[in-house]
Amino acid sequence: MTKADFISKVAQTSGLTKKDATAATDAVIATITEVLTKGDTISFIGFGTFSTAKRAARTARVPSTGKTIQVPATKVAKFKVGKNLKEAVAGGKVKKKK
């Protein structure tokens, strides 16, 4: 699914126009990005938690040449799946809000 497909689905599901769904989607993505950039976490109960983690510097080997290189330490985004999402994916069923 592309971002455009996602926005169409959000518009259809929520009753918003595609323009409003696009603005809402972009705002959500920007907010999650801002929170993670600051090093904070954001949790959606039942859906999951976005957080960051530090990866230590390490030595790696380039498979094609066999040469070893130093990979610098970095900060990466992580996502831990929540219970409801995990169960929905495993069972193939989507829980609808009432």
pLDDT in tens, 68-82: 999 999 999 999 999
- What's domain 3-84's superfamily in CATH? IHF-like DNA-binding proteins (4.10.520.10)
User: 17: which 2 tokens?
Assistant: 């126009």
Q: pLDDT, tens digit, for every residue of 30-63?
A: 999 999 999 999 999 999 999 999 999 999 999 9
Token pair, residue 71, equals: 């990979």
Residue 82 · residue 44 · CB < 8 Å? yes
For residue 32, count other CB atoms closer than 10 A to its CB: 15
Domain residue ranges of the chain, discontinuous segments joined by +:
3-84
The dihedrals phi and psi of 94, each to the nearest 5 degrees, come to: -105, 125
Per-residue pLDDT band for 92 (boundaries 50, 70, 90) equals: confident
pTM value is 0.78
Tokens (6 digits) for 74: 């970095």
Chain centre to alpha carbon of residue 21:
18
